[in-house]
Structure 1
């Protein structure tokens, strides 16, 4: 099963009809290069993208040129889903790594909503999960030290990866540059560099170019002070709602 269809199945049990419907949107996948631009702010909202393989991000830039990463997208997620009702994009979207993307016309979301109530509800669940990620990151940014922010984001990314592929906490994929990590957390490159050096010196973890090596998992989770409630896939309220129909 593709990461896209598997991501829907994390929230609700999908029928054969739902599986067939989703499979229709996976026929024209194409390769994408590292740092490839998918759209710019102001571009007309036409195709969104299903991220079948690789990592991507959406970005907002201020008039002064400061960048803020809004979303970090992993396999199975829809790039730009939060903008599908807009006339024009308010973000820039780029690939973080090489990958495989599937054009997903925004009209397809309307088709899915009309064709299947479970899939429509799952789309809302996917949007709410992305909102929860943003809300958690805002709280962490406002109330945590730089060290705690970095550790919290690393744990969050590991747990998100664990939902879509086999990962080993001892050493896992993390193709996020120090500059990009700073743009995600709102920290300067100097602050990020100093924090990562301290974490390596303290034998908590080491950031390599495209992966994280964890020396002390217990300390990692303790210092991250991580509450995974906002990452839970179970949607009992959705299942109850569907059962009542």
Structure 2
């Protein structure tokens, strides 16, 4: 159900969740009580990988829309990793991509205007959705409230509201309650200065090692393939 809580700060870490449908987020509270969204999770993604090795959670996690989740106990995951090198590599790749998203958001937040931040995040979300399902940039799902968008980007609700109004008045896009309507895709991409390289699914950094693992092992001198 919407707003279903998956865990809270200091709860014991015991399982991951596969988000079968719906959207979710993880949140960290600052010392003054402000909420900072760490991860926005989309259908098909795994919730809880960042704190997989912790004893207790430092974040809280909940659904932001109606959806379905599949709990996955850590014990089962450890057994699968031990038995499957490809699965272990896939999990490492997922964690790396989550870190790349967070790093890119931090850089955009530090060096871009509020307008550019909003546009960049919307395009990033579109490309993430495109990896999971067929979507159209002219009209795509985005059930993120203005308040939550501000908590993701570190901007005040007032600032978010003004930015969205300006984007609508300039005929770039309009944010509806649960989706984005894009009037001018070319301008959206140009203003966001979006480079999707950090979102690549390629495993270029592992190709050489994977090739070594998959290559037939050389036999000791004097032995042939039949073992004679």
Q: Which stretch of the first structure deviates more once superposed, 234-243 or 114-123?
A: 234-243
Tell me whether 1:95 sits opposite 2:42 in the alignment.
no
The match for 1:136 is 104
The match for 2:11 is 43
DSSP-derived class of the 2:3 partner:
coil
Deviation, 1:119, is: 0.9
Tell me whether 1:236 sits opposite 2:204 in the alignment.
yes
Tell me whether 1:75 sits opposite 2:75 in the alignment.
no
The match for 1:115 is 83
- TM-score (norm. length: structure 1): 0.85
After superposition, give the CA deviation of every residue in 1:51-88 in whole Å (9 maximum; x if it has no partner).
11111000000121101000001122110111111000
Aligned-residue CA RMSD (Å): 0.8
Preserved CA contact (<8 Å) 1:118 1:242: no
After superposition, give the CA deviation of every residue in 1:168-225 in whole Å (9 maximum; x if it has no partner).
1111100000000000000000000000000000000000000000000000000000
The match for 2:20 is 52
Distance 1:131 1:96 in 2: 21
DSSP-derived class of the 2:53 partner:
coil
Distance 1:209 1:181 in 2: 12
Greater gyration radius: 2
Determine which of 183, 208, 219 is the counterpart of 1:215. Answer: 183
Distance 2:66 2:144 in 1: 13
Q: Taking CA–CA contacts closer than 8 Å with sequence separation of 6 or more, which of the two structures ends up with the larger relative contact order?
A: 1
- TM-score (norm. length: structure 2): 0.92
Task: List gaps (5 residues or longer) in structure 1.
Answer: 1-32
Distance 1:154 1:116 in 2: 35
The ranges of structure 1 where at least 4 consecutive aligned residues each deviate by more than 6 angstroms after the TM superposition are none
Determine which of 132, 146, 149 is the counterpart of 1:181. Answer: 149
Distance 2:45 2:209 in 1: 24
DSSP-derived class of the 1:244 partner:
helix
- Count of residues paired in the alignment: 213
Preserved CA contact (<8 Å) 1:61 1:67: yes
Alignment of 1:151-230 (within 5 A): 151-230=119-198
DSSP-derived class of the 2:164 partner:
helix
DSSP-derived class of the 2:16 partner:
strand
Q: Which stretch of the first structure deviates more once superposed, 58-67 or 147-156?
A: 58-67
